[in-house]
């Protein structure tokens, strides 16, 4: 499951409350974002130890700026609130590799 984030406060809470977070920064007008979306849903099912969130860069420009997002889609993986990986563009294999690396040794939440 992917949680839609609607505020900077929700974003900060997601990072604080979860050991591994996969952020999908997208835009509604972005073709590659739409193309990779079903694969991201599948990854969220395949990697239950990670908490998947998404932000619309046009709705949360302050979060996008803070994270330095310049292209969509951008995926940022956080572990223990620290950024550990970033994948720019619709590259499902690179994204899966980054997620797999981040969740190694992390138990799925019950």
Among 14, 30, 67, 102, which one carries the catalytic annotation? 30
Span of 42-46, 92-96, 106-110 with lowest mean pLDDT: 106-110
| Per-residue pLDDT tens over the stretch 12-69 | 999 999 999 999 999 999 999 999 999 999 999 999 999 999 999 999 999 999 999 9
| Per-residue pLDDT tens over the stretch 3-28 | 999 999 999 999 999 999 999 999 99
For every residue of 42-108, DSSP letters joined together read HHHHH-TTSEEEEEETTT-HHHHHHHT--SSSEEEEEETTEEEEEEESS-HHHHHHHHHHHHTTPPP
Among 22, 25, 27, 33, which one carries the catalytic annotation? 33
Q: Report strand pairing: 51-56 vs 82-88.
A: unpaired
pLDDT over 60 at 110, yes or no:
no
Is 33 annotated in the active site? yes
Domains and CATH numbers, the chain: 2-103 (3.40.30.10)
Is 3 annotated in the active site? no
Given this model, what pLDDT does residue 55 score? Answer: 98
**Beta-bridge partner residues of 87:** 75
Phi, psi (deg, nearest 5) at residue 28: -65, -25
Given this model, what pLDDT does residue 105 score? Answer: 76
């Amino acid at each position: 499951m992917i949680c839609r984030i609607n505020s900077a406060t929700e974003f900060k809470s997601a990072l604080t409350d979860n050991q591994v977070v996969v952020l999908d920064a997208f835009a509604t007008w972005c073709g590659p974002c739409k193309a990779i979306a079903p694969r991201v849903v599948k990854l969220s099912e395949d990697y239950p130890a990670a908490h998947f969130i998404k932000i619309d860069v046009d709705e949360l420009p302050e979060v996008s700026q803070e994270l330095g997002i310049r292209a969509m889609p951008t995926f940022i993986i956080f572990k223990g609130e620290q950024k550990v990986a970033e994948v720019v563009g619709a590259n499902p294999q690179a994204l899966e590799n980054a997620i797999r690396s981040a969740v190694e040794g992390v138990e799925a939440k019950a």
